[in-house]
Structure 1
Amino acid sequence: MFSFFKSKPVTPDLSFIGADMHSHLLPGLDDGLKTVEESVAFIGQLAQMGYRKLICTPHIIADIYPNSPATILPKLELVRAALKENNIPVTIEAAAEYMVDLEMEKLVTGGSELLTLGKNLILIEMSYVGASPNMERTIFQLRMRGLQPVLAHPERYVFYHNDFSAYQRLADMGCLMQINLLSLAGYYGKSIKLVAEKLVQRQMVDLLGTDMHHGKHMAALQQLASTKEFYTMFKDVNIRNKALLLKEDE
């Protein structure tokens, strides 16, 4: 898989993660990639870095990116066809990154189809300005539907940085935590990097995601994955990404 004895830089090898479960690689749906050609190029690079499965998660934000299964799934099939045409042997699936707001709560309580990671994981996020006032209620409602909420990039919510009990409360309610690899690279700033590292050290990280949007993200990920220290950080951390490689009936 990888060696802890290599000198820097090392060859990027993210096969220990196996599946990426947070990205914006489907074209033309949100603030991520714009064309099928970009999707094929980025997915090819991620496959070369060791990923075997990529679960794309376009934003669903009612007033900005009003996506749904009806807009997301056709783009998934478009990219799958392009990958096959270009002989890129990687599994690609689609879910969504749901903004926890009143519109999302209506989807949950109204019984609407929700796009999940694997069998029952559902990726949720908040505004970077402040916590969603209905976050705890929505987590409870999702759990009542048999879904397992996953909080996207908790390290980026600066309003929690001085109150780790807020993270713990969400975890105690049954919410998993997913951090961005780019946070560990320092891409979003020093304070976010420190909080991401602290979450890892406290064994509060369940899943890792690229949150890939564009070329600068790819360059930062490649740089991070070329350092021995990155791999050492996860030597004793139990992340769940590889479980997403299983088929739903396994």
Structure 2
Amino acid sequence: MSFFQRLFSGKTHQIFKWLSTDMHSHLLPGIDDGSPDMTTTLAYLKELEALGYQKVITTPHVMRELYPNKPTDIKALAATVNEEIVKAGLNIKLEASAEYMLDDGFDTLLENDLLIPIANRYVLIEMSYVAPTLNYENTVFKIQAQGFVPILAHPERYNYLSMNDLERIKSLGCLLQVNMLSLIGYYGKHPQAMSQQLVQQKYASFLGTDMHHNRHLEALKDMSSHSKLVRMIENTEWQNSKL
């Protein structure tokens, strides 16, 4: 049985129906390190629909050196994917934004109105896993000055940030988005402990799959075996459904 035959076979329990919307993924074909082609994109969307998601706001990387994706290209590709969604008979809705690296090109994008905010309001940002962006607090203020609300992607994966640091970032008005798979230890023990603490202390406002590839998909499907954890996040108030 081929990969795609396996992917489409069987039924998957809709364990994330309560969450409604995924607001962090890499599903536009061939634009970053996520889905490589349209066939894979449609297969992944079908599986996310089976998991209970009604809407996906996909967020390709925008990095000055590695992925200098432009708003026009992202929007055009999203429109093409939506055409294919209709042809495939899927019911899931797809919108596109981006995950913006706070590199030396971000200020230019912000100042020249070259961002694609989530729900016309939120800007998903990330930093290097090695070290924090210099003066990132000032960047948070700049985003807010433009009328947007910043969301820091997967804060639990930045090993240099303590809970005190994240509390400080949250106090600045920057919301926090936890990766679903961090909660089950997919990225290691430290991100798992931090993500669970962020959820338990109600510091996180959004949950995201951050889905790139089939390994992520299989791990998401396996979350049904973590019943205690699923109950915990299901009983937490998330802003995903408001997007």
Instruction: Quickly name the TM-score band, shorter chain normalised.
Output: over 0.9
Task: Give the whole-Å Cα distance in 1 for the aligned partners of 2:132 and 2:224.
Answer: 31
In structure 2, the residue matched to 1:105 is: 107
Once the two structures are superposed, the pairs formed by residues 12-51 of structure 1 within 5 Å of their partners are 12-51=14-53
SS at match of 2:229: helix
In structure 2, the residue matched to 1:203 is: 202
Task: Give the whole-Å Cα distance in 2 for the aligned partners of 1:170 and 1:190.
Answer: 22
TM-score (normalizing by structure 1): 0.90
Post-superposition shift, 1:69?
0.7
In structure 2, the residue matched to 1:172 is: 171
The letter for the 1-side match of 2:148 is: L
In structure 2, the residue matched to 1:156 is: 157
Is this contact kept in 1: 2:64–2:104, CA < 8 A? Answer: no
Once the two structures are superposed, the pairs formed by residues 134-149 of structure 1 within 5 Å of their partners are 134-149=135-150
Q: Deviations over 1:192-238 (max 9, x none)?
A: 11110011111101000000000000000110134311222125421
In structure 2, the residue matched to 1:65 is: 67
Unaligned runs of 5+ in 1: 1-9, 245-250
Task: Give the whole-Å Cα distance in 2 for the aligned partners of 1:70 and 1:235.
Answer: 36
The letter for the 2-side match of 1:177 is: L
Superposition RMSD in Å: 1.2
The letter for the 1-side match of 2:206 is: L
Task: Give the whole-Å Cα distance in 2 for the aligned partners of 1:39 and 1:142.
Answer: 31
Unaligned runs of 5+ in 2: 1-11
Post-superposition shift, 1:186?
1.0
The letter for the 2-side match of 1:48 is: A
Q: Which runs of 4+ in 1 moved over 4 A?
A: none
Q: Deviations over 1:60-86 (max 9, x none)?
A: 000000001122111101111111001
The letter for the 2-side match of 1:99 is: M
Q: Which has the bigger relative contact order, CA under 8 A and spacing at least 6?
A: 1
Q: Deviations over 1:125-174 (max 9, x none)?
A: 000001011311111001001100000000000011xx211101110110
Task: Give the whole-Å Cα distance in 2 for the aligned partners of 1:152 and 1:111.
Answer: 23
Is this contact kept in 1: 2:223–2:230, CA < 8 A? Answer: no
Q: Percent identity?
A: 38
In structure 2, the residue matched to 1:187 is: 186
Is this contact kept in 2: 1:11–1:226, CA < 8 A? Answer: no
In structure 1, the residue matched to 2:213 is: 214
Question: Is 1:75–2:77 an aligned residue pair?
Answer: yes
The letter for the 2-side match of 1:150 is: I
In structure 1, the residue matched to 2:86 is: 84
In structure 2, the residue matched to 1:132 is: 133
Alpha-carbon distance change, 166 to 55 in structure 1, aligned in 2, over 3 angstroms: same
Post-superposition shift, 1:102?
2.0
Post-superposition shift, 1:116?
1.0
TM-score (normalizing by structure 2): 0.92
The letter for the 2-side match of 1:68 is: K
Alpha-carbon distance change, 34 to 235 in structure 1, aligned in 2, over 3 angstroms: closer
